[in-house]
């Protein structure tokens, strides 16, 4: 199949006016101008018209389980209070509630142009009861050992067997020790070792709030008090070190780790991220609107970029956001960081997410050999394509995942 469009934005090389993308099965076979593609490739062609054809967006951090919590939680007085509140709300939800939330979240992602999502899955037991998701999903199994060590090896084995029996499911599985305040050093180490053994990605929340920084560095604050009250051992707190440094020095995370948030980055930790530093190749996911919801301190975007860290964008969950729309995340980021070019924000929502997964050149781009994940949005002035992309409102006009047209819900 050949798809023709007024503009093709491949994310590798400049935009192509009167462009075309050739899809063979689930893979892109060629990208170029219509005049160059049509004579060289036989087969059916579809003219999409006055649209921008581009790679599907990659949401690098999401919790689909909580899609049903949109607007359910008022802005908290502290991060610790928010944790307690969401835990209380979750206790009142049924398995069917979570299954419906995941399905609704997948539909919202597809409708708004996301074709790949890195999802933190709190309830792995739900997967066998789900219908095949319409988008490419990495299911990161959340691991917590506040009170007992979960059977991580059994969870990974079950997950890999499950997806191995469902080749039609696009994406994969990964591990997510939840955060340094809910997962022990031992659990982080085990997760990293198993991920490397099985070739799985790993992600975690680190440095999300100032309360986390205060807990570990100073042994104080609302989060410290709350976790101590529920029986968490606190010997790793009050030693003047950040959670990032504690995990890095224990080799419990590595350069392959995808870190969600990292809103707190002490200056003394920057050498860890510098070229030749232990964590230089990490990826960091910024969730601008969730960050705003919590009123976190300013995200260290300039410092991370100066350190050449791979920064991606995500939505987080609807327990701290109003939608799963990645175009809205790009607009929020542009508002906060006007010094960054629009094209770079689009990279954060496409190519950078692919790099985080170790799939650079295979996802988030339109090039021969890449997965055929494409979206089309209403077109605009060729001189302002990046701005036009970020300013896109509402649902996308058209989407293909793995070469298959995805049926869109009504707008």
CB 136 within 8 A of CB 153: no
pLDDT at 410 over 50: no
Give pLDDT, residue 198: 85
Identify whether residues 254 and 345 lie together within a single domain: yes
> Helices marked H in 92-146 — which ranges?
95-111
Structural domain contains residue 105: yes
Structural domain contains residue 329: yes
Identify whether residues 250 and 370 lie together within a single domain: no
pLDDT at 408 over 60: no
pLDDT at 131 over 60: yes
Residue 390 maps to which CATH number?
2.30.40.10
Identify whether residues 39 and 110 lie together within a single domain: no
The C-alpha atoms of residue 390 and residue 397 are separated, in whole angstroms, by 15
Identify whether residues 392 and 303 lie together within a single domain: no
What lies within 8 Å, CB to CB, of 92 at 6+ separation is none
6-38 pLDDT, tens digit each = 999 999 999 999 999 999 999 999 999 999 999
Structural domain contains residue 410: no
Identify whether residues 252 and 192 lie together within a single domain: yes
144-161 pLDDT, tens digit each = 887 665 555 666 666 667
- Classify 339 as helix, strand or coil: coil
Pairing assessment for the beta strands 374-378 and 51-55 based on DSSP bridges: antiparallel
Angle at 211 between CA 209 and CA 217, to 5 degrees: 110
Residue 295 maps to which CATH number?
3.20.20.140
Lookup result for tokens 């999502």:
117
Beta pairing partners, 235: none
Question: Which candidate, 85, 152, 93, 170, places its Cα nearest to that of 126?
Answer: 93
- Residue 411 confidence class, pLDDT cut points 50, 70, 90: very low
Structural domain contains residue 141: yes
Identify whether residues 116 and 20 lie together within a single domain: no
CB 354 within 8 A of CB 37: no
Give pLDDT, residue 145: 85
Count Cβ atoms below 10 Å from residue 68 Cβ, excluding itself.
18
- Classify 23 as helix, strand or coil: strand
Range of the domain at 383: 2-55+365-405
Structural domain contains residue 411: no
Identify whether residues 180 and 298 lie together within a single domain: yes
Identify whether residues 243 and 392 lie together within a single domain: no
Identify whether residues 338 and 393 lie together within a single domain: no
Identify whether residues 39 and 64 lie together within a single domain: no
67-94 pLDDT, tens digit each = 999 988 888 789 999 999 999 999 999 9
Identify whether residues 65 and 175 lie together within a single domain: yes
Indicate the residue among 317, 334, 356 that finishes a domain. Answer: 356
What number is the average pLDDT over the span 286-308? 97
- Of 99-108, 316-325, 373-382, give the lowest mean pLDDT range: 373-382
For the chain, give the percent of residues with pLDDT over 90.
81
Number of structural domains found in the chain: 2
Structural domain contains residue 201: yes
What number is the average pLDDT over the span 159-182? 83
CB 165 within 8 A of CB 199: no
pLDDT at 374 over 80: yes
- Residue 125 confidence class, pLDDT cut points 50, 70, 90: confident
Identify whether residues 214 and 320 lie together within a single domain: yes
234-279 pLDDT, tens digit each = 999 999 999 999 999 999 999 999 999 999 999 999 999 999 999 9
Structural domain contains residue 162: yes
Structural domain contains residue 94: yes
Burial class (CB in 10 A: 0-12, 13-18, 19+), 262: buried
What lies within 8 Å, CB to CB, of 135 at 6+ separation is 56, 106, 109, 110, 114, 115, 116, 117, 170, 401, 406
Give pLDDT, residue 163: 62
């Amino acid at each position: 199949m050949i798809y023709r469009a007024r503009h093709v934005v491949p994310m590798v090389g400049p935009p192509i006016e009167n462009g075309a993308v050739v899809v063979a099965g689930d893979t892109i076979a060629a990208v170029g101008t219509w005049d160059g593609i049509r004579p060289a490739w036989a087969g059916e062609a579809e003219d999409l018209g006055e649209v921008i054809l581009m790679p599907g967006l990659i949401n690098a951090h999401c919790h689909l389980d909580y899609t049903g919590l949109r607007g359910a939680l008022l802005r908290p007085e502290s991060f610790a209070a928010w944790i307690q509140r969401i835990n209380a709300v979750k206790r009142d939800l049924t398995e069917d509630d979570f299954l419906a939330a995941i399905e609704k979240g997948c539909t919202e992602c597809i409708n708004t142009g996301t074709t790949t999502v890195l999802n933190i899955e709190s309830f792995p037991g739900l997967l066998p009861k789900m219908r095949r998701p319409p988008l490419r999903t990495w299911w990161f199994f959340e691991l917590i050992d506040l009170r007992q060590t979960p059977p991580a090896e059994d969870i990974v084995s079950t997950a890999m067997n499950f997806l191995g029996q469902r080749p039609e499911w696009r994406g994969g599985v990964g591990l997510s020790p939840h955060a340094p305040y809910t997962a022990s050093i031992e659990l982080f180490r085990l997760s990293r070792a198993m991920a490397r053994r099985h070739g799985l990605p790993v992600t975690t929340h680190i440095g999300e709030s100032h309360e986390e920084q205060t807990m570990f560095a100073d042994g104080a604050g609302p989060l410290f008090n709350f976790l101590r009250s529920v029986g968490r051992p606190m010997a790793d707190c009050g030693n003047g070190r950040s959670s990032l440094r504690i995990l890095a020095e224990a080799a419990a995370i590595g350069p392959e780790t995808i870190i969600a948030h990292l809103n707190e980055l002490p200056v003394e930790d920057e050498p860890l991220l510098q070229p030749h530093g232990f964590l230089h190749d990490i990826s960091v996911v910024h969730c601008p609107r969730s960050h705003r919801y919590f009123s976190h301190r300013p995200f260290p975007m300039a410092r991370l970029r100066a350190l050449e860290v791979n920064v991606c964008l995500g939505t987080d969950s609807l327990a701290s956001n109003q939608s799963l729309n990645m175009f809205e995340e790009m607009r929020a980021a542009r508002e906060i960081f006007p010094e960054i070019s629009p094209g770079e924000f689009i990279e954060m929502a496409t190519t950078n997410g692919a790099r985080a997964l170790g799939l650079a050149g295979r996802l988030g781009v339109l090039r021969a050999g890449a997965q055929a994940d494409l979206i089309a949005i209403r077109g605009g002035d060729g001189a302002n394509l990046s701005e036009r992309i970020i300013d896109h409102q509402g649902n996308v006009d058209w989407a293909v995942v793995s070469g298959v047209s995805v049926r869109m819900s009504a707008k």
